[in-house]
Amino acid sequence: MTKEMHKPEAKSRRAFVGFAISLAGAMLSGCSDLPRPFRPEAKGIDLRSVSYTTTVGVRPVDGAGPQDPYALPDAMAEELSRHGVPVTSDPGVPSRLLLVPQATVQPGAMGRERVDIAWRIIDEERSGQTLLTQTLYFPDGSWRLAKEGVLREVSQEAAPDIATAIMGKPSDPDPFPAFPGARLVVLPIRPAPGDASESVARALDTELRLASIPLTEIPAEGDLLLRGRIITTPRVSGYQQVQITWSVLRANDESEVGTIRQSNKVVAGSLDGPWGATATLVARGAVFGVLDLLARPEAAEARG
């Protein structure tokens, strides 16, 4: 019998930085806040409300788990990402929904053990529901050792149904209603401190693909460009401001459609090296901003 229980969210393995986001541009009269991300209004989880901006965090097994607590979360996160779910196994990235596997192990016959896994989705109010229950049989000790074949079998079997339960059946709406058929060209991020030009670019590519935004390297008439700049201000009393600007431009003449700005006060020098989970946060905010910007009525009026 599978027990239904959950533990508090694991503590972060990495530090992360949150960035305030605002929009501006030639066709916008000023800056405005982005809509607040998904938050349930009542007990229970309305999975129909889940969208690209709701990151799902896969957590370690609750119960009889592998020796490496992050082996299964990492494998499941990788598999779910292939099915279009915005997912992370890094507890350093904030997640409004948690996917928690609950497992029990029972001895079986002929050197095999039975593993029952209930995949529960839990929201920030700690309400939860079971999306899927698996029963699998492995050679004795394989589950505990988290052997590659075991993790692959578990994640590949469960991911399609979990992805459908969370995201619904796949659809293919135009991501840029004001620019139908447009593709996006991501230009190099310059200037950028630390490894941001590489790490943020990688994270941005991942987040754009998860959002089903069509990308291209060679722009054509009607396509859009995304240009990023990351600047840090001089240090004052041990802190400095990080200012990130994303400009959306028309590919045909590089005229500006609009701008997304992110900023935050950080410990001086903290982003001079690897950006880690911060790159994901910045990229996710940028994509959220681009989608919001290009869905606005003002954008449609100014697209010509």
- Extract the tokens encoding 133: 């229950």
Of 10-24, 90-104, 172-186, where does the model show the most confidence? 90-104
Q: Which of the pair, 233 or 85, is modelled with greater confidence?
A: 233
Peptide bond into 175 cis (omega under 30): no
Q: With a cut of 60, say whether residue 208 has pLDDT above it.
A: yes
- DSSP label at 222? T
CA atoms within 13 A on the CB side of 103: 23
d(C-alpha 113, C-alpha 142), whole Å: 9
Half-sphere exposure at residue 106, Cβ-oriented, CA atoms within 13 angstroms:
10
What phi-psi label fits residue 181: left (phi over 0), alpha (psi between -120 and 50 degrees) or beta? left
DSSP-derived letter for residue 249 is E
Q: How many Å from the N-terminal Cα to the C-terminal Cα in the chain?
A: 62
pLDDT of residue 180: 86
For the cut 80, the answer to whether the pLDDT of residue 51 exceeds it is no
pLDDT at 85 over 50: yes
DSSP alpha helices (H): ranges in 168-276? 196-210
pLDDT of residue 38: 24
C-alpha atoms less than 13 angstroms from C-alpha of 217 in its C-beta half-sphere? 0
Query: Over the stretch 107-160, which tens digit does the pLDDT of each residue have?
Result: 878 889 999 999 999 876 656 788 889 999 999 999 999 888 899 999 999 998
Residues contacting 51, CB < 8 A, separation 6+: 38
How many whole angstroms separate alpha carbon 97 and alpha carbon 75? 18
Average pLDDT over residues 167-186: 77
Say whether pLDDT at 52 is over 90.
Answer: no
User: Nearest 5°: CA angle at 20, between 16 and 86?
Assistant: 60
> From CA 223, how far away is CA 67, in angstroms rounded?
49
**Cβ-based neighbour number of residue 212 at 10 Å:** 14
- Scanning the chain, the segments in alpha helix (DSSP H) are 71-82, 142-145, 148-167, 196-210, 277-294, 297-302
CA distance 165 to 168: 6
Distance CA 32, CA 259 (A): 11
User: Is 280:207 a contact under the CB 8 Å cutoff?
Assistant: yes
φ, ψ (nearest 5 deg) of residue 196: -60, -35
Percent of the chain with pLDDT over 90: 43
The answer to whether the CB of 290 falls within 8 A of the CB of 227 is no
Those residues with Cβ within 8 angstroms of residue 13's Cβ, 6 or more apart along the chain or in another chain: 90, 91, 92
